[in-house]
């Protein structure tokens, strides 16, 4: 059996901020995309509703 080398100290790799951000985005890609699609749909619906009420008010 071999004994671990007592002189070797393992140093954890420090990742850069951009690497951590890419990892975070990669893990949460589906949630981010679904939120973006939902937000776009709400925005389009709110805009269409606003235009509809503006058109109705303009007719009266």
Name the pTM for this structure.
Answer: 0.54
As a whole number of angstroms, the distance between CA 48 and CA 28 comes to 30
What are the residue ranges spanned by the domains of the chain? 17-59
Tokens 């890609």, residue? 29
Is the separation of the CB atoms in 41 and 48 below 8 Å? no
- C-alpha closest to that of 32 among 40, 46, 42, 18: 40
| CA 38, chain centre distance (Å) | 13
As a whole number of angstroms, the distance between CA 29 and CA 36 comes to 11
Per-residue pLDDT of the chain (60 residues; tens, 9 = 90+): 555 565 666 656 667 888 888 888 889 999 989 999 999 999 999 999 999 999 999 988
């Amino acid at each position: 059996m071999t004994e671990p080398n007592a002189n070797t100290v393992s140093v954890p790799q420090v990742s850069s901020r951009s690497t951590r951000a890419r990892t975070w985005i990669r893990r949460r890609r589906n949630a981010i995309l679904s939120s973006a699609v939902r937000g776009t749909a709400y925005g389009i619906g709110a805009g269409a509703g606003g235009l509809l009420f503006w058109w109705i008010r303009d007719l009266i």
